[in-house]
Amino acid sequence: MQIVFQGVHKRLSHGSQELTILDEVDLTVGSGEFVALMGPSGSGKSTLLNLAAGLDRPSRGSVRVGDFDPAQMSENELCDWRSRHLGFIFQRYHLLATLTAAQNVEVPLLLRNLPSRERRRRVETALELVGLSERARHFPSQLSGGQEQRVAIARAIVADPSVLLADEPTGDLDARSAHEILDLLCLLQQHLRKTILMVTHDAHAAERATRVVFLEKGMLRVQS
């Protein structure tokens, strides 16, 4: 599923001032492509992710994810669409401390009308894919940072989404754990054909993507 930003402009009001966050951004992330989005803080990277997820709306221009236009959906439609087509991976894992790894992974499936046996099968498959089957009953406090991020990735893919949006997914990890997480993202892109848009400040992380895009002051500067 491809992501297409066409003439995207985003403005925010700050007191009496109007700030331009994104300025006429044109970008296509092809179906099954892994694109890294780099740029200084405040350049609009996270805003671009939020627009793709329908968490924000462009002031001008359009965003399409596959055949869908998030800006044209109601909140209920967006909720259902995200649960079926999008997976989110964050710098901070956002795991629930009182739930086991398996229970954390299951959370997105609770929004779907699935029998418990099917939910359990999907959770087991996701944890196996990220190499944490043996940690299914462990709580976040019993896991390393790298393992917590693997659980977060399992949660992101448990509903088999077409698109993964990752915001600094290796930002809190040591070099070894970061390398393992990037290996996993490459596996998801190369073998499961997930479309991945990843925000990162890390040039080494960006090198693992199939293409790198740079944002500066809300404008695309260089694509490689």
Q: What confidence tens digit (pLDDT) does each residue in 158-211 have?
A: 999 999 999 999 988 899 999 999 999 999 999 999 999 999 999 999 999 999
Q: What are the beta bridge partners of residue 199?
A: 37, 167
Residue 111 pLDDT more than 90? no
User: What does the block give as tokens for 101?
Assistant: 């790894």
List CB contacts of 173: < 8 A, sequence separation 6 or more.
Answer: 145, 146, 149, 181
107-130: average pLDDT: 93
- Predicted local distance difference test score (pLDDT) of residue 112: 83
Q: What's the CATH architecture for 3-223?
A: 3-Layer(aba) Sandwich (3.40)
107-122: average pLDDT: 92
- Predicted local distance difference test score (pLDDT) of residue 131: 93
State pLDDT tens for residues 54-79: 999 999 999 999 999 999 999 999 98
CA angle 3, 63, 39 (to 5 degrees): 70
Q: What are the beta bridge partners of residue 63?
A: 5
State pLDDT tens for residues 131-168: 999 999 999 999 999 999 999 999 999 999 999 999 99
- Predicted local distance difference test score (pLDDT) of residue 224: 55
Give the total residue count for the chain: 224
Looking at every residue in the chain, the average pLDDT score rounds to: 93
- For the chain, which residues make up each domain, given as ranges? 3-223
Burial of 196 (0-12, 13-18, 19+ CB in 10 A): buried
The amino acid sitting at 180 is E
What is the rounded CA–CA span in Å between residue 29 and residue 159?
21
